[in-house]
Amino acid sequence: MTSSDLPPRIPLLSKTRYTAGLQCVKRLYLELYARELATPPGPGQESLFSSGTAAGILAQQLYPGGVLVAEDYLHHREATVRTKELLQDSTVSALYEAAFTEDDIRIRADILVRGPAGSWEIVEVKSATSVKDQYIDDVAVQLHVLARAGVQVTRASVAFINNQYVYAGGSPVVGDLFSVEDVTEFAQERLGEVPTRLAEMRTALAAGHEPSIDIGAHCSKPYTCQFVAYCRRNEPDWPIDGLPGIRATRVDELRAAGYRSLSTLPDSIPLNAMQQRARDAVQSQRPWISSDLTRVLGQMTPPIHFVDFETVAPWLPRWPGTRPYQTFPFQWSDHVVQADGTLEHAEFLADGDGDPRRAFATSIIAQLRGAATLVVYTGYERTQLTALRDAFPDLRSALEAVLTIPQFDLHPVVRNGYYHPEFRGSFSLKAVLPVMVPELAYTDLTIQHGDVASLQFQQLWDRDLDESARRQLRADLLAYCERDTLAMVRIVEALHGIVGRTELRG
Ligand code: SF4
Question: What are the angstrom distances between the C-alpha of 78 and each of 73, 81, 85?
Answer: 10, 5, 11
Reply yes or no: is the peptide bond before residue 303 cis, omega within 30 of 0: yes
CA distance 99 to 73: 9
Cβ of residue 218 lying under 6 Å from some atom of ligand 1: yes
Helix residue spans in 373-466 (DSSP H):
380-391, 396-404, 410-417, 429-436, 450-459
Provide the residue range defining the domain that includes 266: 235-284
Measuring from atom 3 of ligand 1, which residue has the nearest CA?
A: 215
Measuring from atom 4 of ligand 1, which residue has the nearest CA?
A: 231
Measuring from atom 2 of ligand 1, which residue has the nearest CA?
A: 219
Supply the Cα-derived Rg of the chain in whole angstroms.
Answer: 27
pLDDT category at 5 given cuts 50, 70, 90 is: low
pTM comes to 0.90
Cβ of residue 22 lying under 6 Å from some atom of ligand 1: no
Q: Is residue 369 assigned to a domain?
A: yes
- DSSP 3-state percent helix, strand, coil across the chain (nearest 5): 45, 15, 35
Same-domain check for residues 108 and 154: yes
Q: Any idea what DSSP says for residue 261?
A: B
Parallel, antiparallel or unpaired: strands 67-68 and 94-102: parallel
- Which residue, among 136, 493, 62, has the nearest Cα to 304 in the 3D structure? 493
The mean pLDDT value of the chain amounts to 94
pLDDT of residue 66: 97
pLDDT tens for 48-70 read 788 889 999 999 999 999 999 99
pLDDT category at 38 given cuts 50, 70, 90 is: very high
**Chain centroid offset of residue 278 CA:** 27
Of 284, 314, 349, at which residue does a domain stop?
284
Angle between helices 429-436 and 467-498 (to 10 degrees): 60
Same-domain check for residues 275 and 402: no
Q: How many CB atoms lie within 10 A of CB 283?
A: 16
Same-domain check for residues 99 and 123: yes
pLDDT tens for 281-324 read 999 999 999 999 999 999 999 999 999 999 999 999 999 999 99
Bridge-partner residues for 108, per DSSP? 99
Same-domain check for residues 129 and 109: yes
Same-domain check for residues 292 and 240: no
The atom number, within ligand 1, closest to the CA of 30 reads 5
- Which of 219, 223, 234, 235 gets mutated to test ligand 1 (max ligand atoms within 8 A of its CB)? 219
Angle between helices 15-23 and 133-148 (to 10 degrees): 130
Q: What are the residues whose beta carbons fall under 8 Å from the beta carbon of 109, sequence distance 6 or more?
A: 95, 97, 98, 100, 122, 124, 142, 146
* Pairwise pLDDT comparison (347 vs 1), residue with the higher score: 347
Of 181, 199, 217, at which residue does a domain stop?
199
CA distance 456 to 458: 5
Q: Which helix (H) or strand (E) holds 200?
A: helix 194-206
Contact (Cβ atoms closer than 8 angstroms) between residue 28 and residue 20: yes
Helix residue spans in 207-247 (DSSP H):
228-231
- Which of 218, 232, 235 gets mutated to test ligand 1 (max ligand atoms within 8 A of its CB)? 218
Same-domain check for residues 170 and 310: no
Overall average pLDDT of the 466-486 stretch: 96
Parallel, antiparallel or unpaired: strands 343-349 and 373-376: unpaired
Q: Is residue 81 assigned to a domain?
A: yes
pLDDT of residue 48: 76
Same-domain check for residues 453 and 487: yes
- pLDDT tops 70 at residue 2: no
Overall average pLDDT of the 335-359 stretch: 96
CA distance 92 to 88: 9
Of 179, 199, 219, at which residue does a domain stop?
199
pLDDT tens for 86-135 read 999 999 999 999 999 999 999 999 999 999 999 999 999 999 999 999 99
Reply yes or no: is the peptide bond before residue 222 cis, omega within 30 of 0: yes
CA distance 82 to 99: 8
Calculate the CA dihedral of residues 262, 268, 274, 279 and round it to 10 degrees.
20
Contact (Cβ atoms closer than 8 angstroms) between residue 394 and residue 253: no
pLDDT of residue 501: 52
Q: Any idea what DSSP says for residue 340?
A: T
Q: What are the residues whose beta carbons fall under 8 Å from the beta carbon of 40, sequence distance 6 or more?
A: none
pLDDT of residue 505: 38
Measuring from atom 7 of ligand 1, which residue has the nearest CA?
A: 219
pLDDT of residue 50: 81
pLDDT of residue 352: 86
Provide the CATH number for the domain around residue 391.
3.30.420.10
CA distance 160 to 131: 7
Å from CA of 211 to ligand 1 middle: 10
pLDDT tens for 427-437 read 999 999 999 99
Q: How many CB atoms lie within 10 A of CB 47?
A: 17
Q: Is residue 5 assigned to a domain?
A: no
Same-domain check for residues 248 and 365: no
Provide the CATH number for the domain around residue 110.
3.90.320
Same-domain check for residues 367 and 248: no
CA distance 262 to 284: 11
Q: Is residue 414 assigned to a domain?
A: yes
Q: Any idea what DSSP says for residue 41?
A: P
Measuring from atom 1 of ligand 1, which residue has the nearest CA?
A: 228
Q: Is residue 325 assigned to a domain?
A: yes
Q: Is residue 499 assigned to a domain?
A: yes
Report how many domains make up the chain.
3
Q: Is residue 214 assigned to a domain?
A: no
pLDDT of residue 80: 98
Parallel, antiparallel or unpaired: strands 288-289 and 418-419: antiparallel
Overall average pLDDT of the 432-443 stretch: 92
Same-domain check for residues 388 and 425: yes
Å from CA of 256 to ligand 1 middle: 16
* DSSP SS3 for 213: coil
| Greatest Cα-to-Cα distance within the chain, rounded to the nearest angstrom | 82
Phi, psi of 181 (to 5 degrees): -115, 130
Calculate the CA dihedral of residues 483, 489, 494, 496 and round it to 10 degrees.
180
- Which of 1, 30, 201, 228 gets mutated to test ligand 1 (max ligand atoms within 8 A of its CB)? 228
Q: Is residue 479 assigned to a domain?
A: yes
Same-domain check for residues 185 and 304: no
Overall average pLDDT of the 237-258 stretch: 95
Å from CA of 218 to ligand 1 middle: 7
pLDDT of residue 504: 43
CA distance 156 to 158: 7
- Which of 30, 213, 232, 234 gets mutated to test ligand 1 (max ligand atoms within 8 A of its CB)? 213
Cβ of residue 228 lying under 6 Å from some atom of ligand 1: yes
Same-domain check for residues 266 and 296: no
pLDDT of residue 8: 53
Q: What are the residues whose beta carbons fall under 8 Å from the beta carbon of 401, sequence distance 6 or more?
A: 365
